[in-house]
């Protein structure tokens, strides 16, 4: 009984030692809630913020070509994929009706011109006949003046001779009286001639003016800028018919590639109906709808790179942001901004509509101190990092700047570079 009690005591003592040893081990090893400190150096270098999104290749210019007049489609001269040059005819309507309208308008103008020509010739004849008749009248008046002058001269000679030779007072008085009568007749003939000359000059001038006016009216019908009574509407009708005929041909406005056609020969095409779709050749741009959170990070002029989704990332091209829409549009409840980029060069691999993966260099800081984003914590609205200083760890208040796409953040105040910063701790990380 005594021996059993002794064994029991020894066993109890051994168990006590084992328990004590286990408790000491448990007390000495790190607690399960603690983590070993891991550090990284605050580095000085470049921090770059990139924004990535997808978009598509689009033509720099696109246009839907349509006729300005309606008609039956007579010809389509191009097919999808064809290259065209500026002013190239790509389609044509049936021109027969337009040609008839133009022919009639031209005939109407020609008839009106003929009328103006005949009117001019008639006034020219009138002017010539009037001048001829007036010359006869003037010659008659001049002859009457000459006759009156001759009679006056003869009577003067008779009166002088009678006075000189006769001595008869009565005969002399009669001779003088007759002379005065002849003088009056001569003066009347002179006055009549002067008045006739003035009237003839006025008559000739009037007929000449009428002829000149008729000639000018005719010549104006031959000029595109002429404005003649009765001709304006005819000229307008001819111009309208010519314009309608010209508009039966659909022309390319610039060099490009046909991307679509939506009509067939024989169809009636209403004015304004799209017939041919055209895109600029050799010139493309990138278009994308970017969520507002990303669009706010870069501006026009920002450099970018892109890859073609169909080819993977084995080839990359450079581009530049050229346009950011001033107003957002909502897509699936998210405000987005249309962004346009211009590639630095054209590549035959570019096909309209291809999906592109775009990376815009939104911001960049060179020669700055940075740490991993997860090393920065925040408490009471203050940012800080934990810096390992020998066996100790101290908290340093910092000011952050640009957040890089690689997960590092710029430190503008608080660190100088080279410090060992704790990146795993129990602080409140943002």
Are 165 and 213 in the same domain?
yes
- Asked if residue 217 is part of any domain, the answer here is yes
Q: pLDDT for 142-171, tens place per residue?
A: 999 999 899 888 888 888 888 777 767 788
pLDDT in tens, 182-231: 899 989 989 999 999 999 999 999 989 988 988 888 887 776 544 555 55
Q: Is residue 21 part of a domain?
A: no
Residue 15 falls inside a structural domain: no
What is the CATH classification number for the domain harbouring 70? 2.40.50.100
Residue 343 sits in a domain of what CATH number? 2.40.30.170
Please report which confidence band the pLDDT of residue 26 belongs to, taking 50, 70 and 90 as the band edges.
very low
pLDDT in tens, 102-111: 888 888 778 8
Q: Are residues 322 and 219 in the same domain?
A: no
Q: Report yes or no on 316 lying in a domain.
A: yes
Cα separation, 340 vs 322, whole angstroms: 6
- Strand ranges of the sheet holding 89-93, from the earlier edge strand across to the other edge: 249-251, 89-93, 71-76, 268-269
Q: Tell me, what's the pLDDT at 35?
A: 53
Whether 276 and 368 map to the same domain: the answer is no
Write down the H helix ranges in 87-168.
Answer: 96-165
Percent of the chain with pLDDT over 90: 53
Q: How does the average pLDDT of the chain come out, rounded?
A: 85
Alpha-carbon gap, residue 26 to 122, rounded angstroms: 136
How much is the average pLDDT of 417-425?
83
State the residue range of the domain holding 151.
98-240
- Distance, in Å, from the CA atom of 109 to the CA atom of 102, rounded to the nearest integer, reads 11
d(CA 238, CA 111): 13
pLDDT at 5 over 60: no
Q: Looking at the structure, tell me whether residues 179 and 268 fall in a common domain.
A: no
**Is 276 found in the same domain as 152?**
no
At 233 the pLDDT is 67
Structural domain contains residue 29: no
CA distance 396 to 388: 10
pLDDT surpassing 90 at residue 371: yes
16 is a domain residue: no
Do 102 and 235 lie in one domain? The reply is yes
Residues 6 or more apart whose CB falls under 8 angstroms from that of 395 comprise 384, 385, 386, 387
**Position 30 in a domain:** no
* Token digits of residue 38: 């891991």
Query: What local confidence, expressed as pLDDT, does residue 82 receive?
Result: 92
Inside any domain, residue 31: no
Same domain? 89 vs 109 = no
Q: Are 324 and 378 in contact (CB under 8 A)?
A: no
Same structural domain, 88 and 104: no
Tokens 């000639």 sit at which residue? 215
Cα 51 to Cα 97, 346, 373, 404, 411: the distances in Å are: 60, 23, 17, 10, 21
Same structural domain, 272 and 360: no
What is the total count of domains within the chain?
3
Verify that 385 and 258 share a domain, yes or no.
Answer: no
């Amino acid at each position: 009984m005594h021996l059993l009690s002794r064994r029991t005591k020894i066993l109890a003592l051994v168990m006590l030692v084992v328990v004590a040893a286990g408790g000491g081990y448990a007390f000495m090893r790190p607690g399960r809630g603690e983590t070993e400190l891991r550090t990284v150096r605050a580095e000085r270098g470049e921090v770059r913020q990139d924004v990535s999104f997808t978009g598509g290749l689009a033509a720099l210019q696109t246009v839907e070509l349509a006729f300005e007049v309606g008609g039956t489609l007579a010809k389509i001269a191009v097919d999808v994929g064809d290259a065209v040059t500026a002013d190239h005819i790509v389609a044509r309507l049936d021109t027969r009706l337009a040609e008839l309208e133009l022919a009639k308008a031209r005939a109407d103008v020609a008839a009106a011109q003929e009328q103006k020509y005949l009117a001019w010739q008639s006034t020219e004849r009138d002017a010539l006949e009037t001048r001829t008749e007036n010359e006869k009248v003037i010659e008659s008046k001049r002859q009457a003046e000459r006759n009156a002058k001759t009679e006056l001269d003869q009577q003067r000679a008779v009166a002088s001779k009678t006075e000189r030779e006769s001595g008869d007072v009565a005969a002399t008085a009669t001779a003088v009286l007759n002379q005065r009568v002849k003088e009056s007749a001569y003066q009347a003939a002179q006055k009549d001639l002067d008045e006739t000359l003035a009237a003839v000059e006025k008559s000739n001038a009037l007929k000449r003016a009428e002829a000149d006016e008729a000639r000018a009216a005719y010549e104006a019908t031959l000029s595109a800028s002429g404005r003649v009574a009765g001709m304006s509407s005819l000229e307008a009708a001819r111009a309208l018919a010519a314009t309608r005929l010209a508009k039966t041909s659909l022309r390319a406005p610039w060099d490009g590639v046909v991307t679509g056609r939506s009509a067939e020969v024989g169809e009636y095409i209403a004015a304004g109906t799209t017939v041919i779709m055209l895109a600029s050749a050799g010139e493309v741009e990138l278009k994308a709808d970017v969520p507002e959170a990303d669009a706010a990070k870069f501006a026009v002029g920002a450099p970018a790179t892109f890859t073609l989704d169909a080819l993977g990332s084995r080839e990359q091209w450079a581009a530049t942001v050229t346009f950011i829409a001033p107003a957002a549009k909502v897509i699936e409840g998210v405000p987005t901004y249309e962004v346009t980029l211009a590639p630095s060069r054209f590549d035959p691999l570019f096909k309209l509509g291809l999906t592109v993966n775009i990376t815009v260099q939104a911001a960049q800081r060179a020669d700055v101190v940075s740490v991993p984003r997860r090393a920065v914590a925040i408490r009471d609205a203050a940012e800080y990092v934990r810096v390992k200083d020998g066996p100790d760890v101290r908290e340093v208040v910092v000011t952050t700047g640009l957040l890089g796409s690689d997960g590092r953040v710029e430190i503008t105040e608080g660190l100088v570079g080279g410090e060992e910063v704790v990146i795993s701790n129990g602080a409140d990380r943002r």
